[in-house]
Structure 1
Amino acid sequence: MALEGPNVVLNSADTESENPMTSTQEAPAMITTALTGERADILETLTAHRQFLRHTVQGLTDDEARQRTTASELTLGGLIKHVAEIEKGWVDFIVDGPEAMGGGVDWSEPSPELIESFKAGFQLLPDETLEGVLARYDEVARRTDELVATVDLDLSHPLPEAPWFPKGAHRSARRAFLHIVAETAQHAGHADIIRESLDGQKTMG
């Protein structure tokens, strides 16, 4: 895999005016200096949407993070868990290609085990904690941020066969990162509605 990019320095992403996290739920360090152009744009945008998502679970207990507050089955803890795994999946795709995203799975006839695994990916299970899924999200985010700074953004792989991907399509690292941004932003909006329905707290406003 071709690597390129400037030297990078790890700095805290947190500022009093921009970061909505409490001291117990701080976002991980992010790569900030020596990045310019689209790399900086990707990283700054992704970091902002991660912070919006994390803000929706500020001060919650595990039980509150599991609570449904709308007609949807989505919960705050489940969304954090899901977004972390989606981000990891696309980064694995950038590094290892389509097999990292379940290439070879017959999605036309998914097994009961596969269906249950998919559902569990949206749930904060009884043996999981909000603190644990946030720590997992931090770990995933650090790896992504390092890759944004170094990978050849034109590096491309074929997408695995799946009903939701165009047949025969490819995705570059650049497109994969943009997909992560879009996924994070979409679910941050979902999470904001769930949290406001829980106790009235909003990300902004």
Structure 2
Amino acid sequence: MTMELDELLHELNDQRRTFRVTVRGLTAADAVKRTTVSELTLGGLLKHLTRCERTWTHVLTERPLPPPGMLDHDQYTWSGHDFEALLASYDEAVRATDEAVRTASLDKLVALPPAPWDPHPEPLSVRRIVLHLIRETAQHAGHADIIREALDGQSSTAALYE
């Protein structure tokens, strides 16, 4: 691995850790509660981030496109009962993404699946995909922090240092 790859994965894993701290100690009942005017829930965000990881791993490993579930409209909703299983699914998706990134060159261009918003996308480098995952995870970690604070007053920033 290169220093750049190490640093990119370090930052991505730091954002993932921040998200995981935010959802630490939740029950399934907590994970489905809406605490703001948004439709977002902590379970829905976790489901979405899991799907993001799986989608990008699918793309990185150049499997047939598009990845399963990429265009599902329920990406931000979760009404399940087993929050621990959802967390385990996220951890599994994270490991698969990290493995796919570690075995690829950051400069490698990867074909993207067509989507309604971009039927003929340009390929992206593995580097850009990792940067996208960092942004996506950080953005949703911020959403999760607001939802969690409204839920029970927990601050993710304070919880990072507990």
Q: Is 1:185 the equivalent of 2:151? A: no
**TM-score (norm: length of structure 2):** 0.87
Matches within 5 A, 1:140-159: 140-159=93-112
Matches within 5 A, 1:100-119: 100-101=66-67, 117-119=72-74
1:118 is paired with a residue whose SS is coil
Shift of 1:36: 3.8
Q: Is 1:80–1:133's contact at 8 Å kept on the other side of the alignment?
A: yes
Q: Is 1:38 the equivalent of 2:14? A: no
Structure-1 separation of matches of 2:155 and 2:118 = 34
Structure-2 separation of matches of 1:82 and 1:168 = 22
2:157 is paired with a residue whose SS is coil
Q: Is 1:56–1:195's contact at 8 Å kept on the other side of the alignment?
A: yes
Structure-1 separation of matches of 2:132 and 2:48 = 14
Q: Is 1:53 the equivalent of 2:8? A: no
| TM-align CA RMSD | 2.1
Q: Percent identity?
A: 46
Q: Is 1:156–1:173's contact at 8 Å kept on the other side of the alignment?
A: yes
Shift of 1:169: 1.5
Structure-1 separation of matches of 2:114 and 2:98 = 27
Number of residues paired by the alignment? 157
**TM-score (norm: length of structure 1):** 0.70
- Selected match of 1:81 from 47, 50, 68: 47
Gaps of 5+ in 2: none
Q: Which amino acid aligns with 1:53?
A: F
Q: Is 1:95 the equivalent of 2:61? A: yes
Greater Rg, structure 1 or structure 2? 1
Q: Which amino acid aligns with 2:142?
A: G
Structure-2 separation of matches of 1:197 and 1:98 = 41
Gaps of 5+ in 1: 1-34, 106-113
Residues 96-121 of structure 1, C-alpha deviations (whole Å, 9 max, x = no match): 2571436xx9xxxxxxxx6xx422x2
Structure-2 separation of matches of 1:98 and 1:38 = 29
Q: Is 2:22–2:148's contact at 8 Å kept on the other side of the alignment?
A: yes
Q: Is 1:124 the equivalent of 2:90? A: no
Q: Which amino acid aligns with 2:151?
A: L
Query: In the alignment, what sits opposite 1:32?
Result: none
- Selected match of 1:196 from 138, 149, 152: 149
**Higher-helix-fraction structure:** 2
Shift of 1:147: 2.1
In 2 relative to 1, CA 182–80 (structure 1 residues): closer, same or farther, beyond 3 Å?
same
